[in-house]
Amino acid sequence: MKINWDTIAGPTVLINRRRAQHNIRTMQEKANAAGVALRPHFKTHQSNFIGKWFGPPESTPIAVSSLTMAQQFADAGWTDIHIAIPLNPRELPALNSLASRVSLTLTIEHEDALAVINNITHALKVMVEIDTGYGRTGMHWQQHNRIRSLLDALQAQPKVQRIGLMVHSGHSYNATGDAAIQAVHQESSARLKELIDMMAWHGSPLWVSTGDTPTCSRMDSFPMANEIRPGNYVFYDLQQKTIGACNWQNIALAMACPVIARYPERNEVVVHGGAVHFGKDWVDTTQPNGSSERIFGQVMHNTANGWGAPITDAVVISLSQEHGKLRLPAAMVRELKLGDLVIIVPPHSCLTMNAAVATEHFICFDD
């Protein structure tokens, strides 16, 4: 399908199907070559339609970040679902219902969660989250006695069919370039190995799941892992480009926003497209003079069917609820007319897509 620009009235997410499918294929080939399973994280797109680009639902294991997403994808035919956020005891009834109809993997990272696991009435898999340096969630990798005790307790629970360790090295998002990504990857792998060595684990084999998008995109081997679990790579975005996880040509999602105001005197335009559409995440950029600037999107060249390269010094400088303020080259401001569409790559495609899924304002096109 080509984009029919005339049908776009308000802020609309555009998804380049060829690029997204290329990204999906590339990551699958990498996982195959590295000898690890791939469990794509569906929190990035949250769409049943796009989910099927990864393969048939019944043979595609997936990760999600909420019970709500798990229920949605279970309803749509996915059968192997990992809720990759620590267990919330308040969701026990719904988790039981879900465990009765899909192969469900839960995440825990504290002994207190065992009481909840014991109340799950169906077979399930459990991953213990390990913190190897990110500092968000997970048991600290040096707490090997505590982690081994938790694994022992899980192994003693007959309903638990598989146990494993899960890592999310989200601090790779603070890295820039392959050397820095590699440093995070190596440190995280070494810490995971140290934990496993120190535990001297002799129980059933531990299934190890790792993998953030920067690491999975730039590294080729995952020696500690049985499985990788990236999500953002389907679309990528400005944060991933800044990290060095992708090229501009990999970015498969952008937003088309109509111009609603122009200010040649200050090289600015305002579009309809604000925090409720983009999600208000940001990228801190370094200017040629060395100063730092926080931006909320990168403006791209329009093409007949999609977008081309980034436009130099054309960025979203602020977002309010529905307005996006853009700084553009003087010539571009002069040429833009009221209602023209500006194409913007957002900082964080997960948040942009989350907003679009809620309002169903996204278009998949073929270029």
Q: Does 183 bind its own copies (CB under 8 A)?
A: no
Are 139 and 149 in contact by the 8 Å Cβ rule? The answer is: no
Q: Does 181 bind its own copies (CB under 8 A)?
A: no
Kindly calculate the radius of gyration of the chain based on its CA atoms and give it in whole angstroms: 22
- Per CB under 8 A, the segment of 23-31, 151-159, 214-222, 333-341 that binds its own copies is 333-341
Total binding residues toward its own copies, as defined by CB under 8 A: 55
Q: Inter-axis angle of helices 144-155 and 178-199, to 10 degrees?
A: 70
Q: How far is CA 246 from CA 144, 184, 217, 287, 309, in A?
A: 36, 17, 7, 21, 14
Q: Does 142 bind its own copies (CB under 8 A)?
A: no
Report the nearest approach of its own copies to the CB of residue 277 (Å): 10
Q: Does 110 bind its own copies (CB under 8 A)?
A: yes
Q: Does 109 bind its own copies (CB under 8 A)?
A: yes
Q: Name which of 112 and 366 has its Cβ closer to its own copies.
A: 112
Q: Name which of 192 and 351 has its Cβ closer to its own copies.
A: 351
Q: Does 28 bind its own copies (CB under 8 A)?
A: no
- Per CB under 8 A, the segment of 192-200, 205-213, 255-263, 305-313 that binds its own copies is 255-263
- Per CB under 8 A, the segment of 17-25, 88-96, 145-153, 210-218 that binds its own copies is 88-96
Distance CA 357, CA 16 (A): 16
Q: Name which of 202 and 337 has its Cβ closer to its own copies.
A: 337
User: Which residues, at least 6 apart from 288, have a Cβ–Cβ distance to it below 8 Å?
Assistant: none
Binding mask 288-317 for its own copies (x = CB under 8 A): ------------------------------
Q: Name which of 36 and 240 has its Cβ closer to its own copies.
A: 240
Strands (E), the chain: 12-16, 37-38, 62-64, 80-86, 103-108, 124-131, 139-140, 160-167, 207-210, 227-228, 253-263, 268-272, 283-286, 292-295, 298-303, 306-319, 323-327, 341-345, 362-365
Binding mask 159-178 for its own copies (x = CB under 8 A): -----------x--------
Half-sphere exposure of 296 (CA within 13 A, CB side): 22
Q: 135 — alpha (psi -120 to 50), left (phi > 0) or beta?
A: left
Q: How many CB atoms lie within 10 A of CB 108?
A: 20
Q: Does 65 bind its own copies (CB under 8 A)?
A: yes
Q: Which of 21, 28, 48, 66 binds its own copies (CB under 8 A)?
A: 66
CA-based nearest residue to 94, from 72, 61, 76: 72
Report the nearest approach of its own copies to the CB of residue 359 (Å): 7
Binding mask 118-137 for its own copies (x = CB under 8 A): -----------------xxx
Classify burial at 233, counting beta carbons within 10 Å of its beta carbon; exposed 0-12, middle 13-18, buried 19 or more.
buried
Binding residues vs its own copies (CB under 8 A): 8-10, 43, 65-68, 85-91, 94, 109-110, 112-113, 116, 135-138, 140, 170, 258, 260-262, 265-266, 270, 272, 275-276, 279-281, 318, 320-323, 325, 337-339, 350-351, 354-355, 358-359
